[in-house]
Chain A
């Protein structure tokens, strides 16, 4: 048989049909792998959280590192969240004016803006911006330390890396997120008022007085302080992803990306639960 004929036979001869088990087994195996990986990740996260918690609860406390991290998370994120807040303020102002005008409810503008910013947009935008900046930074920094054995060197020097590296970063995120949210809110309200005042005369005093008219602390405080939970999520995920990194430069890149993606995802999922929780306990 010539090679041409052989090629023709090869092309035309029908493949024997795969048995059902042969078709299902690879799919089932990869599904089982994913399933295992999913639970393994949560299991490791649980173990990591417990180690961080027990390290954070016992002396010696790493005050110097905590202060450094408060500056890293707080002061250095301030310009970014303020700018994001400013942009959100202008966008909400434009959208609110247009929508409220259609329904003849322009007088509701200050309250609409204040409630939109303080209850919804401010916390979420702050969380997402900090997740991007701090989550990626922490994830990459710790991952780089892990692959260059710097974390092992810390442990070999009889220093608990969960206390020094993770607990301080997570605590800094928990403490700083509510403060950064206040900064986002203030920036958004200022630019929102300014955008409105450029179109129609509206004094800042009048805007604030109308916006917060009848508002209670319980309407705003839980929404602001829920961002401490966002801080916990961002810090925990970034530290966890960073400190479990394997595989050189590629691993560092993966850790940074996963830190941001997972922290943002869990932050939004947590918001669903937190909003419901706040509605129930702070009606």
Chain B
């Protein structure tokens, strides 16, 4: 059986150094008010690879993403992005690394005082000051077309559905052409049709942009569709890591139970 690392290497984009992980999480611990959330977790993601992080609610999946993008700091362990440890980096230095990352929040976290176009334009206005207004508007239209929302360009976030908000969040996450995409429950709270559309969208984006992606989800069907490798978490650590078939073949009771219930 291929190890997770072998699978990652196989999925790596041609021409990339497949042995250098884009994201490397090593022995990370994180507690909140004495409650241990992550318990020595280690994960690696290579260029062009998609890793789905699965697990029950409260097992630290979202916390893991927040640590990777530096919104929270680990209690111990290291998180390296392109080989650079992000622990203790000042906000502005961390910003340089974050420019290479796109983050889709669970509730989309759109700026409620800005229109759909304003939300997508926001990172461009701050980081691509070389673009003229018309170039920026073109880029916004292109990103919104990519997620199928070019008709909602002037709407406010409160006037669009949850699924559309996630699409806008995705367009905003892609605005700076990130090398790493972090998606927190992209299909949570959506009907099956919208979930399927989001999955297809993520697959299409992966094909076109060849980003390294980490998708946190408890939707096994979605994980199977969009990710080449899955990691199942229990009590803040990885129980099993591999392809969906590896999970199906596993003798671990928790894995069997998770697959049965999903």
Contacts and interface: CB of A to CB of B under 8 A. Distances in A.
Interface of A: 51, 55, 58, 60, 144-145, 148-150, 152-153, 155-160, 162
A158 B95 contact: yes
Contacts of A51: 91
A158 B98 contact: yes
A281 to B, nearest CB: 37
Contacts, number: 60
A153 B105 contact: yes
A149 B65 CA distance: 14
B107 A157 contact: no
Contacts of A152: 66, 71, 105, 109
Given A152-B71, A153-B103, A160 B95 contact: yes
Contacts of A156: 69, 71, 98, 101, 103, 105
Contacts of A158: 94-96, 98-99, 123, 126-127, 176
Nearest to B94: A158
A151 to B, nearest CB: 9
Contacts of A148: 107, 109, 112
8 contacts: A51-B91, A149-B105, A150-B112, A153-B111, A156-B69, A156-B98, A157-B176, A159-B123
Contact of B109 (A55, A58, A60, A149): A149
B122 A157 contact: yes
Interface of B: 66, 69, 71, 91-92, 94-96, 98-99, 101, 103, 105, 107, 109-112, 122-123, 126-127, 129, 172, 176
B78 to A, nearest CB: 20
A155 B112 contact: no
Contact of A149 (B98, B107, B122, B172): B107
Contacts of A145: 111
A162 B92 CA distance: 11
B35 to A, nearest CB: 15
Contacts of A150: 109-112
Given A150-B109, A158-B99, 12 more contacts: A51-B91, A58-B92, A153-B105, A153-B110, A155-B98, A156-B71, A156-B103, A157-B98, A157-B123, A157-B176, A159-B127, A160-B91
A249 to B, nearest CB: 14
A156 B69 CA distance: 7
A159 B103 contact: no
Nearest to A157: B123
B64 to A, nearest CB: 14
